[in-house]
Amino acid sequence: QVQLVESGGGLVQPGGSLRLSCAASGFTFAYYSITWFRQAPGKEREGVACFSNNVPDRYYADSVKGRFTIPRDDAEKAAYLQMNNLIPEDTGVYYCAASRWVCSWSANEYTYWGRGTQVTVSS
């Protein structure tokens, strides 16, 4: 059974940090690009960070560049989203998704999705 399970969300003050985890099972994780998407209330889902399959390329949305990183551990079938210097605009539900293709910000390219974890940045 294919699963992606996110964890690590919560409430954090502006300027704080969180580390999200994405645990995968049921498919060959190393063959897939992993992207973190987020969705704020009333807004469309947007990709924020991607770690490409096969080659060690990482991509970041302009809104998070310099603040977020996306480590992955293929042996552990896990990906992470390290979020530093958080701002209220980072609030939303964060999803990890897996695609057999190279990194893309288009949600339609992704085959597997987790259920999401809530991140709230507020004082």
Read off the pLDDT band of 55 (50, 70, 90). confident
Q: Tokens standing for 4?
A: 């992606």
Of the candidates 77, 83, 26, the one whose C-alpha atom is nearest the C-alpha of residue 49 is 83
Read off the pLDDT band of 53 (50, 70, 90). confident
**pLDDT tens column, 75-117:** 999 999 999 999 999 999 999 999 999 899 999 999 999 999 9
Q: Are 84 and 13 in contact (CB under 8 A)?
A: no
Average pLDDT over residues 47-72: 93
**pLDDT tens column, 5-48:** 999 999 999 999 999 999 999 999 999 999 999 999 899 999 99
Q: What is the pLDDT of residue 15?
A: 98
Of the candidates 73, 43, 48, the one whose C-alpha atom is nearest the C-alpha of residue 59 is 48
Read off the pLDDT band of 56 (50, 70, 90). confident
Q: What does the alpha-carbon distance between residue 114 and residue 80 come to, in Å, rounded to a whole number?
A: 13
Q: What is the pLDDT of residue 54?
A: 72
Q: What is the pLDDT of residue 109?
A: 94
A 10 A CB-CB count for 95 gives 23
Q: What does the alpha-carbon distance between residue 112 and residue 34 come to, in Å, rounded to a whole number?
A: 10
- First-to-last CA distance in the chain? 40
Largest distance between two CA atoms of the chain: 40
Q: What is the pLDDT of residue 96?
A: 98
Of the candidates 98, 115, 120, 107, the one whose C-alpha atom is nearest the C-alpha of residue 28 is 98
